[in-house]
């Protein structure tokens, strides 16, 4: 068993946003990174730095070795470890990476092909499931991989680790580069990496304490131009499944600063530590200014296939609702004709569209109609809608007339017109031009209505 070690108080370090995930739908970017300062020197101030500076921190890894060296110069067999994925995703990943350990078989992989089970409707599946399945399709196509490696001496793996180290250095500018290199390249640490088109775009570095069955997350970051795509959540899901199946872990612990707490909470971490203190005290570092958080790894959940599980559950609930409810049934509407209901003529019903159409046309052509042709602009009259609670204007009434659906009786049309005159007289004083226009237009309208009603009664 490992003895107590690495317990030290370290100065806090400020972080930039390391990753951003809009999970489900409506959350702000967070910074999921635990960030210890170097025990050998204080936290360095934030400063700009070049990729050349990043590469200098690993002196023994030269460009010549990257270009054309034998596959391994360490004298030890490689120890590749890939995260657990579904059968289709694993086949795609196997073409570019060594086979994972036998212990990392998927505990929750199903045999059914989820493609035929559900639709791609976000309303049905939810934003989280839709995004997760999109990333899963990229994995199956081989464009996206989630692989876990440590410093095993294999050139390709070392290139990816150096790329991950550079991402951590860029996203965490206050973190000493030497400390980042020490942890990423430490053979007791592992790194779960997001590899898109064979280029590392982010990852999580952690240390598994297999004897204590928990792991400590050291760094977590996604490169700036690949954030808000769901990689952070997908990365954490792969890490949980790999840590459970390959390392036998039951918990994760990490120290998070205020910027990182939001991300970790969304990934199932909590500030309440339920893990026995004897299992972790003395094994992980203490950080000043950090909040210790814990995540329990479920031993049955298929973390890399949660989207399919959630969609199955949603479908089962939807089917049960349909059994117990008739809310999905659409009934035909009431069949009626304008001016008639139940075969009887409505009092004041409009036999055709001529009456309101002629009236609204005459009103728009009247010289006193100019104040009423458009809705009142609140920018010109800020308090208008505080006083007038039921506004109306000729433009709105014209649209209602053209729809041939709104004014089923002439009385409704007349009521709207009278309300327009009443609003003008309520808001404006009698000596204003608006009040006078309203009075003249109202008189004109009353005469027109009386004339049309007289003509209609004569014809009848």
Name the residues annotated as catalytic.
Answer: 216
Nearest to 19 by CA among 317, 264, 294, 223: 223
Q: Read off the tokens for 270.
A: 């909590």
Q: Read off the tokens for 348.
A: 């004041």
Q: What angle do CA 380, 385, 389 make, to 5 degrees?
A: 155
**Residue 335 burial (10 A CB sphere; 0-12, 13-18, 19+):** exposed
For residue 335, give Cα distances in angstroms to 33, 345, 364.
63, 15, 33
Q: Read off the tokens for 434.
A: 């608006």
According to DSSP, the β-strands at 344-345 and 214-222 are unpaired
Cα–Cα distance, 334 to 341 (Å, whole number): 10
Q: Count the alpha carbons within 13 Å of 187 in the hemisphere toward its beta carbon.
A: 7
Give Rg (Cα) of the chain.
35
Q: Read off the tokens for 365.
A: 């052509």
What contacts 121, CB < 8 A, 6 or more positions away?
A: none
């Amino acid at each position: 068993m490992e003895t107590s070690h690495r317990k030290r108080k370290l100065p806090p370090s400020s972080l930039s946003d390391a990753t951003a995930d809009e999970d489900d739908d409506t959350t702000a970017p967070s910074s999921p990174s635990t960030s210890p300062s170097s025990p050998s020197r204080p936290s360095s101030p934030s400063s700009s730095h070049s990729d050349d500076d990043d590469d200098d921190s690993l002196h023994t890894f030269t460009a010549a070795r990257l270009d054309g060296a034998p596959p391994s110069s360490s004298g030890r067999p490689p120890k590749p470890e890939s995260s657990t994925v579904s059968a289709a995703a694993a086949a795609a990943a196997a073409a570019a990476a060594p086979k994972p350990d036998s212990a990392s078989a998927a505990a929750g992989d199903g045999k059914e092909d989820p493609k035929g089970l559900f639709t791609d409707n976000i309303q049905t599946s939810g934003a989280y499931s839709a995004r997760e399945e999109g990333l899963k399709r990229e994995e199956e196509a081989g464009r996206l991989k989630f692989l876990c490696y440590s410093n095993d001496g294999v050139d390709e793996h070392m290139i990816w680790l150096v790329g991950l180290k550079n991402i951590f250095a860029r996203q965490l500018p206050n973190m000493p580069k030497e400390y980042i290199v020490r942890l990423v390249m430490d053979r007791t640490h592992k790194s779960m990496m997001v590899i898109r088109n064979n280029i590392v775009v982010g990852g999580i570095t952690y240390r598994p304490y297999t004897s204590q069955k928990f792991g400590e997350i050291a760094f977590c970051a996604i490169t700036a131009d690949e954030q808000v795509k769901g990689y952070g959540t997908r990365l954490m899901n792969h890490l949980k499944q790999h840590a459970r199946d390959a390392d036998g872990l039951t918990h994760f612990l990490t120290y998070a600063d205020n910027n990182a707490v939001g991300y970790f909470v969304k990934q199932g971490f909590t500030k309440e530590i339920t893990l026995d203190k004897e299992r972790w005290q003395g094994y992980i570092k203490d950080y000043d200014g950090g909040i210790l958080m814990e995540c329990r790894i479920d031993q049955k959940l298929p973390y890399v296939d949660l989207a399919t599980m959630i969609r199955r559950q949603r479908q089962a609930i939807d089917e049960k609702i349909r059994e117990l409810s008739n809310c999905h049934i659409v009934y035909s509407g009431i069949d009626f004709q304008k001016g008639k209901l139940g075969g009887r003529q409505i009092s004041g019903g409009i036999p055709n569209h001529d009456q309101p159409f002629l009236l609204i046309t005459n009103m728009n052509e009247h010289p006193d109609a100019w104040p009423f042709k458009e809705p009142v602009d609140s920018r010109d009259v800020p308090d208008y809608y505080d006083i007038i609670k039921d506004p109306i204007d000729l433009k709105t009434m014209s649209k209602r007339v053209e729809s041939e659906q709104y004014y089923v009786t002439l009385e409704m049309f007349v009521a709207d017109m009278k309300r327009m005159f009443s609003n003008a007289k309520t808001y404006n004083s009698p000596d204003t031009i608006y009040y006078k226009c309203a009075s003249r237009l109202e008189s004109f309208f009353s005469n027109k209505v009386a004339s049309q009603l007289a003509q209609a009664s004569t014809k009848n």
